[in-house]
Amino acid sequence: MTGVRWIPHIAVDGGSRRGGRSVPSQGVSAGQAFDNQDEQAGIMGLFGVKRAYAVVDVETTGLYPTRDRVIEVAAVALRPDGSVEHEWSTLLNPMRDLGATEIHRITARDVLEAPQFVDIAGDLAEILQGRVLVGHNVAFDARFIESEYHRAGHREASLSADAWLDTMQLARQVLPSGKRTLAACCAQVGIVNQTAHSALGDARATVKLLHQLAPSCGGLPTIGSRFNVVTLPRLPRRGTKCLPRRPSGLREESFLSRLSAQLPAASGPVSHDKYFAILDRALIDRVLSARESNELVAVAAELGIDRPTAERLNAEYLSALARVAIRDGHVSQDELSDLVHVATLLGLGAGAVRPALDQAKRTMHQPGDDHRQHAAFHLAPNDSVVFTGDSSNRPIWERKAVKAGLVPKSSVSRKTTVLVAEAPDSLSSKARAAADYGIPIITQSAFLRLLEDVRPRLVTPTDGMPKNSATALLPRGSKLQVGGEEKYLDRLVRWLDGRDAWDVIVTLHNDWPTRASGAPRMGVRLFGEPVGRLSPSTTAQLQPVIEACETRGLLPACCAQVKGNQLKVDVVIDVAKGSGIPQSWLDANIGIGALK
């Protein structure tokens, strides 16, 4: 009988015909597979055919394979006798929000650094290939896995139902009547699953359940002989590192502990400013997301900030917050709790708060140029906000924003003030765009707190503007080139300090010398020093609002960028002109009618 290839014939009521044999639509049950196939099993035994198994489980974002995604997958490879050959599992990044997480308890933070399915498609295929696919309600797992292969571009990948062994169907033949969930079946046979609703935990429980049920169905060798095996196309393995689920109760390490203990001494005040700026943005909502932690670690490495330096900078940051808290002579319980929370996020611990307060008391009245003494972040009228997450609740959030004088937008741009997300580490396309633009991503609870304090953005800028000046920050609008900056090349190059570009706030002044025959020109200052002038047409458009600010004792300022090199430096301001300044900004800041 050399050369004979045996193809099993599985007759199943309600199955569909495929390739000349009947294929079940929901996997093969014990009764269906065993009732009339004793002769076939005997033939299998004569040829010594033994099936190996792959017990799988997936955790998903929902119930529908065509629109939901796999976020965790596990496979336990079994030998024909049922002994464990090896285990494999990983979390997966679906590149979209996870939705409700109450059952699987997987958060966006957990999967942010996880591989995508396309990265592990070859590894999983290698485990499944040539094995009987086993699962509890295996059709659910198989269809999700198959859909993920199709999304990854492997449309030819198919997990044929005649290779599915369903322990739920086995349980119907062996166990008394009752619920057929994995938890209920395990409870009936005394199996304890301490990590239920984790892919690997459920796969291990399914293995144990299979071992309990198999003897009543003729044993694993006999069971396996009734099934085909998974046949998948040969897929390349990328060697991507898997990301297993974090054991529950395991404390997450601080980003400080991930910094190099010692780097070359390359950091200085400019790099410290950039580090502080990221801390400012990250801690607006008093949540340090995984994405923000990763950014801090990457920036610290890029700027040569080692762990001891970062610890010192974090302590300075905490001391600056302590100075704000103590400036009225009293630290409230809420302020103390906030300081303790921030100290914990910074990896300093609650014990760092008392020294920070003591230092704040000693230094709060001392002169200096501590750039960290500015006010906390707040939203201002006409700020642009974008929401991501559950779309059914989005109109409610947008109405709250409009009521507070904010402007909801449907997409993220460079002019977006904040992105409000259900989860700090949202995986939505909006969150990815905000992260790329350096736009703060805040939680919904933080947004509610910020709504209580929406006010005009009158600031005392921290990047070179005169101290103790009440400043009106003009709204953004058009990017305009400042002229005459070549006269101040040395000064600008010194301030750039090796950077290609630098986002700053400049002040506008009606003090630029005017030629007898020329039109008036407005001066631009940075750090209180001249850096150029505006064109006559721009001056004419800004003149009314500048004069109105000065009349009310306000120093007009606007956002700008300094960019260039030792040969040439440009200063570009970003400001709304004339009638482009919103009426609400005028009313809130200087109390005058719209400019024409």
Q: What is the residue-wise DSSP string for 249-310?
A: TPPPPPGGGGS-S---S---HHHHHHHHHHHHHHTTTT---HHHHHHHHHHHHHHT--HHHH
Residue carrying the six token digits 């700026």: 277
Residue partners of 459: CB distance under 8 A and separation at least 6: 374, 375, 471, 473, 557
Residue carrying the six token digits 């020294």: 355
pLDDT, position 24: 38
Q: What is the model's pTM?
A: 0.60
Helix axes 117-128, 138-151, angle to 10 degrees: 130
Helix axes 307-326, 353-363, angle to 10 degrees: 60
266: number of Cβ within 10 Å? 11
Task: State both tokens at 562.
Answer: 């300094």
pLDDT, position 340: 93
- Assign domain 384-451 to its CATH architecture: 3-Layer(aba) Sandwich (3.40)
Grouping H, G, I as helix, E, B as strand and the rest as coil, residue 166 is strand
Residue carrying the six token digits 């929000």: 97
pLDDT, position 260: 53
Domain 16-224 has CATH 3.30.530.20: no
353: number of Cβ within 10 Å? 24
pLDDT, position 320: 83
Q: So where are the chain's domains?
A: 16-224, 255-363, 384-451, 458-589
- The mean pLDDT values, 10 residues at a time, for the chain of 596 residues are 32 33 38 42 52 96 92 96 95 87 85 94 95 96 96 92 94 87 93 91 96 92 90 88 80 60 48 78 86 86 85 88 79 89 90 88 56 61 89 88 92 92 88 90 92 68 52 84 90 80 84 65 87 90 86 84 88 85 75 46
Contact 84, 207 (CB under 8 A): yes
Q: Rounded to whole angstroms, what are the CA distances from 460 to 335, 478, 592?
A: 22, 23, 22
DSSP class of residue 483 equals B
Among 51, 502, 3, 45, CA closest to 274:
502
pLDDT, position 573: 92
Helix axes 167-174, 199-213, angle to 10 degrees: 40
Shared fold status for 16-224 and 384-451: no
